[in-house]
Amino acid sequence: MQIAQKEFQKRRRQLLDSMIPNSIAIIPAAPTRQRNRDSEYAYRQSSDFYYLSGFAEADAVIVLIPGREHGESILFCKEKDPEFERWNGILAGQEGATGHYLFDDAFPVADIDEILPGLLEGKQRVYYSMGLDEKFDRHVMEWINIIRSKIRTGAYPPGEFVALEHTLHDMRLYKSAAELKVMRQAAKISADAHCKAMQACQPGMYEYQLEATLLHHFMQEGSRAPAYTTIVGGGANACILHYIDNNAKLRDGDLVLIDAGCELDCYASDITRTFPVSGKFTAEQRTLYEIVLAAQESAIAEAKVGGHWNHPHEAAVRTITEGLREIGLLDGEVKELIENEAYKKFYMHRTGHWIGLDVHDVGDYKIGGEWRVLEHGMVMTVEPGIYVAPELEDVDPRWKGIGIRIEDDVVVTKKGPEVMTAGVPKAADEIEALMRN
């Protein structure tokens, strides 16, 4: 954990300040999930919950009540229990919740059914993200119904439910200096892992063996999980955008596309590189590769303060369309090819997304129907590609089966775009040089 508890406390303060008086916010920890029979998936805290607490235990609920006399920020969490802890690990308990995690007040989560209806009673508004956790939604309704059942005794059930996301997700979009520090570290680990995969690659290896090289490096460096399922696609598998089978043999003469990033302290990184299995690009591969690289560089240049969210995408689309037209894969006027989206035959996804605690991070892309203006501290991916699927019609066979994407993580800063993932080469010559060593 590298972000100071004071910063988490400050975020709760900021959220409390955005709430109306006489209201309450309820933020549950992520549920545990069964993998099979009695085996659970590795626990991952909910990003909203983690953002407000740095607290990684399951079975916990954050409650924020502006103006509450006995403390405005409350953590419900598991009670310390030597027998449970002997089997499952040390718990923070209520003392840890206030002492270490700096909550104002804490209660055993086992008592929440007795305590929460009392906290809800008389509040005008409840801030709660409905629909993310069915089981927890039912609990909230039960607590509300307990108050409703007491209306005749003068109890006052809350009248409004308001989504918490609006404020919370806007806060998450602007990364603090401490968050950027963690994200740079995650980006460096992932960049080094991609370098290792390039150096390990040999014809005849299986895609999952390159995946293993990456995951090994992630963990060696302190990341406990990838930020998303790794994609390793050799040859035409690179044209399947969400290919995760990763079980084919890598062939001499093919490219391999790797989309992989580690998660560090719950922060994501997200890198794609595409390189020749043998270490040397063919002429066709290099031609398409140079177009994608030029598109990516033109898009990164647009990730600047005062520009808007869609500028990088527009730049990438223009560069790709011009490039494809030059080599005869598209035919017509560039302006028209862009307007009628002819490029989508080869480039069918968007050029990026916000990244942070979630790989596809929260934050609005449009405000009032207009593309969002980019500001200092926003972090995005820039990831154009060209995919010439083998089954495409009216395509010169020499291009078929080539899929390329290049992806970096970029911070918008007052000094211009900062590429956090620059530690792994992307110029074709640099990749070839790295693979020769």
| Cα angle, residue 260 at apex, residues 254 and 264 outer, rounded to 5° | 160
**What is the residue-wise DSSP string for 10-69?**
HHHHHHHHHSPSSEEEEEEPPPP-EEETTEEPPP---HHHHHHH----SS-EEEE-TT-T
Select which of 48, 259, 322, 409 is catalytic.
259
Q: Which does 265 bind (CB under 5 to 8 A by kind): ligand GLY, Mn ion, none?
A: none
259 binds ligand GLY (CB under 6 A): yes
233 near 256, Cβ under 8 Å?
Answer: yes
Pairing label, strands 402-405, 385-388: antiparallel
242 as an active site residue: the answer is: yes
Count, residues near ligand GLY per rule CB under 6 A: 7
> Using CA atoms, how far apart are residues 386 and 411, in angstroms rounded to an integer?
24
Residues between 297 and 356 that touch ligand GLY (CB under 6 A): 353
Q: Which does 432 bind (CB under 5 to 8 A by kind): Mn ion, ligand GLY, none?
A: none
Residue 256 phi/psi, 5° resolution?
-130, 135
Q: Which does 254 bind (CB under 5 to 8 A by kind): Mn ion, ligand GLY, none?
A: none
353 as an active site residue: the answer is: yes
383 binds ligand GLY (CB under 6 A): yes
190 near 155, Cβ under 8 Å?
Answer: no
> Using CA atoms, how far apart are residues 62 and 127, in angstroms rounded to an integer?
12
> Using CA atoms, how far apart are residues 157 and 427, in angstroms rounded to an integer?
62
Q: Which does 228 bind (CB under 5 to 8 A by kind): Mn ion, ligand GLY, none?
A: ligand GLY
360 as an active site residue: the answer is: yes
125 as an active site residue: the answer is: no
> Using CA atoms, how far apart are residues 29 and 371, in angstroms rounded to an integer?
32
208 binds ligand GLY (CB under 6 A): no
Number of H helices, E strands in the chain: 13, 21
Q: How many residues does the chain have?
A: 437
Residues between 227 and 246 that touch ligand GLY (CB under 6 A): 228
Select which of 242, 339, 391, 393 is catalytic.
242
Residue 406 phi/psi, 5° resolution?
-130, 125
383 as an active site residue: the answer is: yes
Contact letters for Mn ion, residues 342-381 (x by CB under 5 A): ---------------------------------------x
**Token pair recorded at residue 7:** 């910063």
Residue 312 beta carbon to Mn ion: minimum distance, rounded to whole angstroms: 13
Residues between 392 and 421 that touch ligand GLY (CB under 6 A): 407
Nearer to ligand GLY, 258 or 277 (CB): 258
Nearer to Mn ion, 259 or 322 (CB): 259
Residue 68 beta carbon to ligand GLY: minimum distance, rounded to whole angstroms: 41
> Using CA atoms, how far apart are residues 334 and 382, in angstroms rounded to an integer?
22
Q: Which does 144 bind (CB under 5 to 8 A by kind): Mn ion, ligand GLY, none?
A: none
Nearer to ligand GLY, 213 or 272 (CB): 272
Select which of 11, 217, 311, 405 is catalytic.
405
Residue 273 beta carbon to ligand GLY: minimum distance, rounded to whole angstroms: 12
Residues between 234 and 273 that touch Mn ion (CB under 5 A): 259, 270
410 near 418, Cβ under 8 Å?
Answer: yes
Q: Among all chains, which residue has been given the structure tokens 């007795």?
A: 114
> Using CA atoms, how far apart are residues 413 and 11, in angstroms rounded to an integer?
22
What letter represents residue 11's amino acid? R
Among 192, 270, 322, 361, binds ligand GLY (CB under 6 A): 270
Task: List contacts with ligand GLY (CB under 6 A).
Answer: 228, 259, 270, 353, 359, 383, 407
Task: List contacts with Mn ion (CB under 5 A).
Answer: 259, 270, 381, 407
Give the residue numbers marked as catalytic: 38, 242, 259, 270, 349, 353, 360, 383, 387, 405, 407
